[in-house]
Structures are given as structure tokens and as C-alpha cells.
Structure 1
Amino acid sequence: MPGKKEYHDLSFPSHLLTMLGSKTSLKDRWRQVINEANRIDLKHLLTLQAPISEDQTDEMQQEKVQLVIPRQYHADGFSERQQAWLMGVSDFLDEVRKRQASMPADTGGDQLEFTLQ
């Protein structure tokens, strides 16, 4: 899995980099993630806070921040449109696995292994 070394190596393909921030409560603090990890276009943000207004999730989409919330919280006050956009933790892990699988062998980094309990 790419780490700090690969992030700072400008020859490393940025589409293989992943960023996951976390916030216990979002309010307006989710915007802090926008200015982090400039090489990464789509940033992921994990929270347990639900619900979040459609205005906020619309703004997150515009700012290229993908909200990651455990699947069991998706029905707690989120509209159907929001639920279609939300990413579960397992969805996020699947995305990371896909990126790892597409990494050339000589790019470095360690493979991330994980299981959901």
C-alpha cells in the first residue's frame, strides 16, 4: 500500500494514492479534509455521525470528499439519494484493494491486509 514515501514521490501515480480522514462529528470541520493530501483528487472521510443534511453531502460531492459511514447507519436519516452516494467501510476497503491490485510490482509500498469483523 502506498505510504508517505510514495505520496512524496511525484513519479508515483497519484491515482493509486488513497486518503482517509476521520471526524467524530462533522459540522463544518469536514472542510479541513479538502486542504489535506493535495495530490489526491478524491478524499475519503469516515464518520459515525448521522444524519447529515443533503446540502452538506451535495457540497461534499462538489468538493470531491467521499463520505464513508458504516453501512448500518445509512438508513438513519439519510435520503435515498444520499444513501446511493454514501460509501460503506467495506466499499472503501474494496476500493483500496482494487488500487493495490492495479499497482505495478516495482512501485513499492506494502500490501494492506484486512478483514471486517
Structure 2
Amino acid sequence: MGTLKSFLIFILAGLCEIGGGYFVWLWLKEDKPLWFGIIGGVVLALYGVVATWQTANFGRVYATYGGIFIVLSLLWAWKVDGFKPDRYDIIGALIALLGVCVIFYAPRTTN
């Protein structure tokens, strides 16, 4: 699988997890209607399916996804909730992203 395609799958998985979790959050914490929670649950289940589209093994996929999730979470909070990441948030996210790119995209002779 190509690097760009796998990275886009990670982003889609992240949007499903964060978006689904956000709908559940709104339902439970912001007194939104039950259908917010139902939609959130469905979208969270889709996250589990999307992650299986990666061709690497479970451990490597989920380790890599964790770092990408950090970046996406900060971007979501910034764009949706008005949270402004500070320099340490950004530095930490970049370190995580660099680390997971090494884990997932470094050339190997075996998987």
C-alpha cells in the first residue's frame, strides 16, 4: 500500500474516532438528544472498520494511529472547540508524529 493511501486511511480513522467521540460527548455532557449518542456510536464503530484497511499488523497500525490521533485531536480541538494549542502541544505532537512515521513507514525487509 502506498504511503499517501495509508496516511489518508489513518486520517479517516481519526476523524471517525474523534467525530464519533465528539457526538457522544455532546450527548452526555452538553445535553444533546439521544440521536447524537447513536450517531456517535455508529461512527465510532466505523473507526474500527476503517483501521482494518491498513495492511500492516495490528500492533504497528494502532501504535502509529496513536501518534496521528494526537495531532488530529489537537487540530479538532483548535478548529471545533476554539482551543489554541501552545508551543508545547505543537512540539509534542510533532515528536509523536515523527516517531510514528518511523514506526510505520521505515523500510523493512520483513513485516
Tell me the TM-score normalized by structure 2. 0.29
Provide the TM-score with structure 1 as the length reference.
0.28
